[in-house]
Amino acid sequence: MVSTWSDKMLLLLRRMNNFYLPGSSLERCLPFKVEGEQVGWLSPKVASSTLSRFPAVFRPHGGAVSLAPSLDSYQKRSEAVDGVLQELREDETYACLKGWRHEKYEVMARYCDTPVMCMERAATSLFGIKRYGVHINGYTRNGNGGLSMWLARRSTTKQTYPGRLDNMAAGGLAAGCSVRQTLLKECEEEACIPASIAERARPVGTVSYTYEDDDGVFPESQFVFDLELPSDFKPQVGDGEVQAFYHYPIEKVKDLVASDEFKPNSAMVVLHFLIRHSIIEPDTEPYYHEFVTGLHKTL
């Protein structure tokens, strides 16, 4: 029976890394390769039933799927794959493509590599493409040294996790945008935080994990920032992705991240904050080690 806070957080980390667990589709998935380097994972269904219908674009070989050799540039690859995705979008085989966002994500083997193509955000899970984002912990320091954190309640009309609690601001890294640009954009759009304040945000690491669900495989990494806000500053609802902001003592936030109310990957970002700010300690938290490694899986 799962009951304690520690057990719940450990379960959350296991769920968010379920691609690595026994019984996942990992062993059946095929690497998706571009220029000889693996950039994603394809389920047997996507590889065999779907992509094999497009031999001018996709080429199976040696237990992997690559692109046709003629697709030898960023632009050619991006356009050819986008053409296939447009067809798939119409035949409605994959529910995730209904959430088409007109937002391109870069595709590369490692974040430090030059992108080899870009891909519509809604399709990345079908190809198991690594996705990167920015999450911002907004917090304040009380007079007595205690911490409070700003949380967002997601709009009920959001495609994913409607109505759940979330970090103060967050967003995916779209093609051509730097981490800092994304940070400033999301702070402004989601929480009406002016650049003069948002630029004080400090990068403090990344949180990385890989899960799978009906929509495919999600290897994700979030660049994490801490933004200490003046005590008289309040984030405001901006573009409608958020319906409300709450300002809670860190102990209440700690309780909330173990509840089903929280968006799971955002709960991981809060756990990372709790560890870095010494809210949990190695001698009293039995899974301290498991928490740190669960937050930092190699994609």
State the chain's maximal CA–CA distance in angstroms: 65
Give the pair of three-digit tokens for residue 234. Answer: 């309040």
Token look-up 């304690």 returns 4
Out of 68, 84, 179, 237, the only residue in the binding site for a copy of itself (CB under 8 A) is 179
For a copy of itself, the closer of residues 64 and 292 by Cβ is 292
Name 48's Cβ contacts closer than 8 Å, sequence gap at least 6: none
Distance (Å, whole) CA 187 – CA 17 = 28
Stretch that binds a copy of itself, among 23-31, 78-86, 104-112, 231-239 (CB under 8 A): 104-112
Q: What DSSP string describes 174-215?
A: -TT--HHHHHHHHHHHHH---HHHHTT-EEEEEEEEEEEETT
Contact yes or no for 135/266 (Cβ under 8 A): yes
User: How many whole angstroms separate alpha carbon 191 and alpha carbon 245?
Assistant: 8
Examine residue 205 and tell whether it contacts a copy of itself (CB under 8 A): yes
- At which residue do the structure tokens 């690859």 appear? 77
Closest approach of a copy of itself to the CB of residue 116, in Å: 16
Query: What's the min distance (Å) between Cβ of 210 and a copy of itself?
Result: 12
Q: Binding a copy of itself by CB under 8 A: which of 78, 221, 265, 266?
A: 221
Min dist. Cβ of residue 14 to a copy of itself (A) = 12
Size of the site for a copy of itself (CB under 8 A): 32
CB of 85 or CB of 169, closer to a copy of itself: 169
Q: Are 89 and 66 in contact (CB under 8 A)?
A: no
| Amino acid residing at 52 | S
2 binds a copy of itself (CB under 8 A): no
29-37, 40-48, 238-246, 280-288 -> range binding a copy of itself (CB under 8 A)? 280-288
Give the up-direction half-sphere exposure of residue 129: CA atoms within 13 A in the CB hemisphere. Answer: 21
Contacts (Cβ under 8 Å, ≥6 apart) of 199: 180, 184
User: Is residue 141 near a copy of itself by the rule CB under 8 A?
Assistant: no
Comparing CA positions, the residue from 65, 119, 64, 122 lying closest to residue 94 is 122
- Partners of 67 in beta bridges: 58
Q: Looking at 223, 245, 262, 273, which residue binds a copy of itself (CB under 8 A)?
A: 223
Q: Whole-number minimum distance, CB 3 to a copy of itself, in Å?
A: 16
| Contact status: 192 vs a copy of itself (CB under 8 A) | no
Could you say whether residue 208 binds a copy of itself (CB under 8 A)? Answer: yes
By beta-carbon proximity to a copy of itself, the closer residue of 43 and 221 is 221
Q: Which residues are at the interface with a copy of itself (CB under 8 A)?
A: 110-112, 178-180, 202-206, 208, 221, 223, 275-276, 278, 281-283, 286-290, 292-293, 295-299
